[in-house]
Structure 1
Amino acid sequence: MGATLPVIQQARAQQAESAPADPRAPVDVKLRINGRDQSLRLDARTTLLDTLREHVGLTGSKKGCDQGQCGACTVLVDGTRVLSCLTLAVMAQGSEITTIEGLASSDGALHPMQQAFIDHDAFQCGYCTPGQIMSAVACVNEGHAGTNDDIREYMSGNLCRCAAYPNIVAAINQAKNEMRKA
């Protein structure tokens, strides 16, 4: 019986070593957001949206539905549009994250898409506008802005409760020409 006790203790020690880490334990996360490195200590389950808004102070990306259905939280990760409410911050490590705050140039000049949204009054209440603009930039960069039908199709994941859709399409058509020149 005395020999069994060390075996049990050894098994318990091995089990403790192989047990999954506490998901609530903070982890170190390094993100590159709008050209700036950010070192954060976060709960591993923290979404990219909550990281941007609550830990970095970039509140342009909006929390609309928090279920990936409205597009208000759209950001670019390595140039690809991503719903930040469905993306864990730890998944974005090593990538370039661009938010609405990072689109304008360093001298303050608006990105062509931002200017086009203003020129075409492509917003009303403005809540969805950051996500619409980020998705529109990706739509053009992906080559999906050839026709109005293409634009409507590839922007369909971004909802606008104010129904500014015709103005959004017009803004994208204007900006795509400026973006191609740049």
Structure 2
Amino acid sequence: MLRFNLIVAVCENSGIGLKGDLPWRIRSELKYFSNTTKRRLDSSKRNVVIMGRKTYFGVPPSKRPLPDRVNVILSSTLKSNELPNEVLIYSSLEGAMQELEKQKDQIENVWIVGGSSVYAESMASPRCHRLYLTKIYAEFECDTFFPKIPESFREVSPDKDTPPGIQEENGLKYEYKVFEKQE
């Protein structure tokens, strides 16, 4: 079974977004997101990012579709002619995963990148493996929030590519954490 990981940055009041954008500016965290979702061991395979419609359109137009990854949008209202040809649209997460399963020999990693309802559905799925969470030690005004992490998730040691300890940029402290779903 093809599995996926989630990646998200969350502030202390569980916020992840404001008016379709990030409420903070942390360049090194964006670089971490990009590097992590692009990283693969087999250069013949590709990584996939799955997101909801609002998350996709929250990405600046010059940066979408997210480069060097297969972009999948979950939407029941968007039509394929409203998006670049290389962007795939599915009406459900499980429907997208079943289609990706047919190409699993060409896919190395699948990443769930937002938004709130996609994260909630993903954490409940048996396909969910890990949650890569950047904990931002500050509160921000937000209108989109990360769902409560189920008790089935346990914090694990981050991989060698994850910077350890508390980081700081622009006076904001944050930390990279990794949680694994226990069966």
Work out which structure has the larger RCO, using CA pairs closer than 8 Å and 6 or more positions apart in sequence.
2
More helix by share: 1
User: Which protein is bigger by CA-based radius of gyration?
Assistant: 1
More strand by share: 2
> What is the TM-score normalised by the length of structure 2?
0.22
> What is the TM-score normalised by the length of structure 1?
0.22
